[in-house]
A and B are shown apart, each in its own frame.
Chain A
């Protein structure tokens, strides 16, 4: 293999970028309406919520843990958000921060339980996820809140050329996360803990603080995703978040995150979500059986993991 190609493949997200370029190119060729403003708008809009969901999980992966409750928090926040506006007439401007606070609080509960009891994050969030979903369905009886403020659903539809307004928030979050994890000390400490918890503690990094921060942020991002989902759908459905879990892991992992913690890639995660969205969009346009999406997702995960392993072996760190 030529040195140039080899070096390129070793860059973390190069595989994804290449796949995206190749995929988009193929699609533009196969389906004439791929490059229309409307289609691009639709596709980009569909990325908004998944991006935030992926980021929510990415943070917990960064500290070497998992947040199984990410979808459950999303659902709970969604109905709380919709409910407080429809039933209690809370104005939108107040409902949004309250909804985010609920998400952060849920994350705080998770973090507290994990730190205080010392029990595996997987189990704790499995349990709290179940509890949150229970509260969700208990309150709503599975009935959505349909009367959302027009400003909200309007926002969900508006766009500037192909760029949906909805996508702006995730992009800002991405930039902030990128900054947080690469240039801010607390972010570096989170990753340090994920990379080697014992070493981090020896250096005085507090396990409790790191774990709580990660889970609060995770809950917060899940809440942002929920608010956007409500805007996108135009109603607060209790089922929001029900299908978030697998995607929340798939995207960061395809993006190169280490399951054991200590390494995540904001850019890689974004590319992964983009690629998945591209594939889904392409399937619709090419009138491919939509059932192929799941299959391709699984194949993507394997390919990404395989590439990462190849990389590890070839850069001498396996």
Chain B
């Protein structure tokens, strides 16, 4: 008895109509923009621009992932920026003030990020209070604590290899940060598609009650997701540190809030939980970065950027909504 009886071919993974068409749409739009931009401004495809865009993209991708892993559980993490900046300052402190080797300092920063994220998750599952409120509070608590401890003093004297890493180029136009982001993308993809933990998370996000009744340890997976979010926020923070060559307390905060949602939402991750689009989040971030960079290169005035982003987001969700209605009417799984 084979799998064919159930409409599955063993050699190929089941293709999910809804998600593929969403991502295809995004790819086409992005390709469209790249074409237009590179025609209008040849500098768009210069290795310098590609490098800069790639580096900014890497950071936005990871920030988007930090939010995505919490969206998967049906919640939100408003403290992404706050955790990011705490990690930044911790990393800087370990490197500069304590003089620890850079990899150790970065590991410490990631550990802090994970711990803060875990704390969010712990409070959320213990109290049962909405993640919106808890992370709203913790965002203020974490930023506040960071400001109190660091007195908002930036750390500029980091070991030179940090800034060098941020400026490094592979093949002339690829930033190592982008490769890291892609690596994280691969890991998350495997997590949600092929691991027991990932499936448990999505079940808990789709219907926490049903998942709990089926034996899924909902509290545990939600806490893990928040911890993961914290680690990812910290990674994004470290990336910014390498780009700036310094640890600044002005990083993160509210600046990360919008980008953290744009990537996932544009990419097809559901706000209500239970479904993630890992590649979609990456594409969403790519779209945003593309537009931002394009406007800059075309000298259209950075100021109108927000307007375009808002309109694109609106368009994207409208299209997605009609696609979902279509899929529902024709009985196709998302």
> A141, A298, A302: which contacts B303 (Cβ < 8 A)?
A141
Establish whether residues A298 and B144, one from each chain, have CB atoms under 8 Å apart when the complex forms: yes
Is the pair B133, A131 in contact by a Cβ cutoff of 8 Å? no
Q: A125-167 interface mask toward B, CB cutoff 8 Å, 1 = contact, 0 = none?
A: 0111111111101101110000000000000000000000000
Q: Which of B146-154, B155-163, B183-191 contacts A (4 or more CB under 8 A)?
A: B146-154
Contacts of B137 in A (CB 8 A): 298-299, 301-302, 305
| Alpha-carbon distance between A138 and B321 when the two chains are bound, in angstroms | 29
Q: Which partner residue on chain B sits nearest A318 by CB separation?
A: B128
Query: Given B129, B144, B303, which contacts A296 in the complex, CB threshold below 8 Å?
Result: B144
Which of B16-24, B164-172, B211-219, B309-317 has 4 or more CB atoms under 8 Å from chain A? B309-317
Q: Closest B-chain residue to A116, C-beta based?
A: B318
**Contact assessment for A117 and B321 in the assembled complex, using a CB-CB cutoff below 8 Å:** yes
Q: Write out the residue numbers on chain B whose beta carbons fall within 8 Å of the beta carbon of A250.
A: 136, 140
Q: Is A38 an interface residue (CB 8 A)?
A: no
Taking the closest CB of chain A, its distance from the CB of B134, in whole angstroms, is 8
**Chain A residue contacts of B129, Cβ below 8 A:** 305, 309
| Known contacts A117-B321, A123-B317, A292-B144; is-contact A129 B136 (Cβ 8 Å) | no
Does A291 count as interface, using CB distance less than 8 angstroms? yes
What residues of A have a CB within 8 angstroms of the CB of B143 in the complex? 294-295
Cβ of A253 under 8 Å from chain B: yes
CB <8 Å contact, B133 and A305 = yes
Q: How far is the CA of A126 from the CA of B311 in the complex (A)?
A: 10
Cα distance A129–B311 in the bound complex, in angstroms:
10
Q: CB-CB < 8 A to B136: which residues of A?
A: 246, 249-250, 253, 301
Q: In the bound complex, how far is the Cα of B326 from the Cα of A49, in angstroms?
A: 45
From B320, which residue of chain A is reached at the shortest CB distance? Answer: A119
Residues of B near A90 (CB, < 8 A) are none
- A120 on the B face (CB < 8 A): yes
Q: Which of A128, A141, A246 is within 8 Å of B310, CB to CB?
A: A128
A247 to chain B, nearest CB (A): 10
Q: Is A297 an interface residue (CB 8 A)?
A: yes
B208–chain A nearest beta-carbon distance, Å: 15
Determine if A245 is an interface residue (Cβ-Cβ < 8 Å). yes
B317 and A297: CB pair below 8 A?
no
CA distance A305 to B132 in the complex (A): 12
Q: Mark A243-263, 1 if CB is under 8 A from B, else 0.
A: 101100110010000010000
Q: How many A-B pairs with Cβ below 8 Å?
A: 130
Residues of chain B within 8 A of A142, CB atoms compared: 303
* Band of interface residues on B: 35 or more
Smallest Cβ-Cβ distance to B318: which chain A residue: A117
B48 part of interface (Cβ distance < 8 Å)? no
Q: Which residues of B contact A299 (CB under 8 A)?
A: 137, 141
Q: Do residues B140 and A134 form an inter-chain contact, with CB atoms below 8 A?
A: no
Instruction: Name B169-227 residues within 8 Å CB distance of A.
Output: none
Asked whether B145 lies within 8 Å of A295 as measured between CB atoms, the reply is yes
Chain B neighbourhood of A130, CB < 8 A: 258, 306-307, 309-310, 313
- The reply to whether the CB of A118 lies closer than 8 angstroms to some CB of chain B is yes
> Does chain B have a CB within 8 A of A293?
yes
Smallest CB separation, B324 vs chain A (Å): 10
- With A137-B304, A246-B254, A253-B133 given, is the CB distance from A297 to B310 under 8 Å? no
Give Cα distance in the complex from A309 to B124, angstroms: 13
Contacts of B152 in A (CB 8 A): 291
Would A138 and B304 be within 8 Å (CB), given that A119-B317, A130-B313, A131-B310 are in contact?
A: yes
Q: Are B140 and A246 in contact (CB under 8 A)?
A: yes
A180 within 8 A of B: no
Name the 5 nearest CB pairs between A and B, nearest first.
Answer: A134-B307, A295-B144, A131-B310, A298-B140, A134-B306
- 18 A–B contacts from the bound complex (CB under 8 Å): A117-B317, A123-B265, A124-B314, A129-B310, A130-B313, A131-B309, A134-B307, A134-B310, A138-B303, A138-B307, A141-B303, A246-B139, A253-B133, A289-B148, A294-B141, A294-B143, A299-B137, A305-B129
Given contacts A134-B310, A301-B136, 16 further A-B contacts (CB under 8 A): A117-B318, A119-B321, A126-B261, A133-B310, A134-B305, A134-B307, A137-B303, A243-B254, A246-B140, A249-B132, A249-B136, A253-B136, A289-B148, A292-B144, A301-B137, A301-B140
